[in-house]
């Protein structure tokens, strides 16, 4: 939201899925926690997005939390058109595209969508959450990419090895 932009630094996340064997995805402007039990997250998608219908049609999708230095990945997945993944390194994991060098990956299913002006609010159920490595996150602040130094909590060698996060289950 333009009026809050000076106040709001947001982590950059890419939502990805497979359309057949082809990766599809987009960068979303807002990403947030919805519930711990059951584990749910939310994000907002512009109603004019041509990528979201492709992601929505997949049985599951991934929320990739991007790291500092992944501005090129964010820019590529923000472009319109079908060639968003040209030059973006990724691997398939349990039916979702996981972006190489992302900080974390949440494997999700669609729970609900709500209309909200010129956006859709998406609620996603988290079926698996993994920390892929520890490093500083990529953030978007005042219409440009930035980093939050030290947010990676002593990043070390950056190899989180795919530590699975325990989810609350009823």
The CATH number for 15's domain is 2.30.110.10
Q: Does residue 169 fall inside a structural domain?
A: no
Predicted TM-score (pTM) of this structure: 0.84
- Cβ-contact 106, 17 below 8 angstroms: no
Whether residue 21 is predicted with pLDDT greater than 70 in this model: the reply is yes
Q: For residue 7, what pLDDT band results from cuts at 50, 70 and 90?
A: low
Please tell me the total count of domains within the chain. 1
Q: Does residue 95 fall inside a structural domain?
A: yes
Whether residue 146 is predicted with pLDDT greater than 80 in this model: the reply is no
Q: Does residue 127 fall inside a structural domain?
A: yes
Q: Does residue 18 fall inside a structural domain?
A: yes
Nearest Cα residue to 101 out of 146, 152, 30: 152
Q: Does residue 158 fall inside a structural domain?
A: no
Q: Does residue 165 fall inside a structural domain?
A: no
Q: Does residue 89 fall inside a structural domain?
A: yes
What pLDDT is stored for residue 168 in this prediction?
44
Nearest Cα residue to 103 out of 14, 9, 10: 14
Domain that holds residue 78: 2-151
Q: Does residue 93 fall inside a structural domain?
A: yes
Residue 144 β-bridge partners: 141
| Cβ-proximal residues to 142 (8 Å cutoff; 6+ apart), any chain | 5, 6
What pLDDT is stored for residue 9 in this prediction?
64
């Amino acid at each position: 939201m333009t009026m809050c932009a000076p106040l709001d630094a947001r982590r950059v996340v890419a939502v990805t899925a497979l359309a057949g064997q082809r990766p599809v995805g987009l960068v979303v402007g807002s990403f947030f926690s919805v519930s711990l039990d059951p584990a749910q997250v939310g994000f907002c998608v512009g109603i004019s997005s041509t990528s979201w219908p492709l992601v929505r049609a997949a049985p599951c999708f991934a929320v990739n939390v991007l790291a500092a230095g992944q501005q090129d990945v964010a820019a590529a997945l923000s472009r319109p058109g079908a060639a968003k993944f040209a030059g973006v390194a990724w691997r398939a994991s349990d039916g979702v595209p996981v972006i190489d060098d992302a900080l974390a990956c949440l494997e999700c299913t669609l729970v609900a969508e709500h209309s909200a002006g010129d956006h859709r609010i998406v609620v996603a159920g988290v079926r698996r959450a993994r920390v892929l490595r520890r490093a500083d996150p990529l953030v978007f602040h005042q219409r440009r990419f930035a980093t939050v130094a030290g947010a990676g909590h002593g990043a070390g060698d950056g190899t989180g090895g795919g530590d699975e996060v325990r989810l609350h289950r009823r």
